[in-house]
A = this chain, B = another copy of it.
Amino acid sequence: MKIQYHLLHKEKDTGARRGKIETNHGTYDTPMFMPVGTRATVKMLTPEELEDCHAGIILANTYHCWLRPGEDLISKAGGLHKFMNYHGPILTDSGGFQVFSLAKPKDITEEGVHFKSHIDGAKLFLTPEKSIEIQNKLDSDIAMSFDECPPASASREYMQKSVERTLRWAKRGKDVHKNENQSLFGIIQGGPYEDIRKFSAIETVKMDFDGYSIGGVANDGESKEDMYKAIIYSTPYIPEDKTRYLMGVGEPMDIIEGVIRGIDIFDCVLPTRIARHGNAFTHHGKINLKNAKYKEDFTPIEDTCDCYTCKNYTKAYIRHLVTSDEALGGRLLSIHNIRFLIKLTEDIRKAIEEDRLLTFRDAFQKEYEHTK
């Protein structure tokens, strides 16, 4: 079965959508935040811990799984779900983002992208067909079309040509995608240019994908304004019964602003990445547990948080762990940060249901920007 998006409620004053996504691995509420499991593992955590955080879909990176351990191995293991023992739905990206951001230098041709492995420098070639083939073998619930991810700073001319090629790549990928149990999403690009986003959106939707992503908002250098533009220039052309996915976004305020503009699902490495550096999300902004002021703070990161970490550990203990390079520190912070973003989406869903998302946004923002 392909995934099905069900729109349950549209907020009166915003573009926010309260929905449900039906997958072969369960039905989940949207808006949703998806934790990232780069190499078939959400760093440091078990699937049970993700479930405790109320995670729904998680993301795995096609590029990383392709290079190591390889899609054939994962296929032999019975697919990503069995390999990593995650029972919920899994989304794989196309590999494009990593090829463009991580595996420089590269040579972009009509056929695909030549690049060198970031692990051993081996010469590799990724094409739209190859990306789909890999994702098919990974057997994720949702696959992404292979796209170019030009930075927002790219010229209008480059962006237009890039979007046209991304459309041709999307078509090529779709033509070889035959897996009836895997959904395929199209990706809308176009940077901050209204007409190019519109063109990209209309042409991508014409191909009739199972869902649509808005890409090019999480490269280096995009401003919040660029992100808002990317969304509002794209969403009007996406059918209401299809999932809308903003790729690579995980800052709490960005999630709220994305939802307000009609986004259903988000992913980001932020909660686990900042955790490994000792940082925690709180309703009063991010805090760094290495800070000396937490040395004798025998309270949880947040009293009101229902995560495993906050129910069992103090800031003083976590500070001890992170300043001593004890892995449990990053693990406990990862749990808290993932739960924080997922809880945020739960609060957002409730606010949408009660048509008070803007009020929620204002209150959240006021608190979030008022660091203690």
Interface residues of A (CB under 8 A from B): 39-41, 43-46, 68-69, 73, 76-78, 83-85, 295-296, 298, 312-314, 316-317, 319-321, 323-324, 326-328, 330-331
Contact = CB atoms under 8 A, between A and B. Distances in A.
- Tell me which of A73, A314, A328 has the highest count of chain B C-beta atoms within 10 A of its own C-beta: A328
Contacts of A296: 73, 76
A223 to B, nearest CB: 33
Copy number of this protein in the oligomer?
Answer: 2
B44 A327 contact: yes
Nearest to A85: B312
A44 B328 contact: yes
Contacts of A43: 326-328
A327 B327 contact: yes
Given A313-B85, A316-B69, A327-B327, A41 B321 contact: yes
A323 B83 CA distance: 15
A327 B317 contact: no
Given A314-B77, A316-B77, A331-B44, A39 B85 contact: no
Query: Which interface residue of A296, A320, A323 has the most chain B CB atoms within 10 A?
Result: A320
A77 B317 contact: yes
Contact of A69 (B77, B85, B295): B295
Contacts of A298: 76-78
A298 B44 CA distance: 21
A323 B76 CA distance: 18
Nearest to A328: B41
B85 A326 contact: no
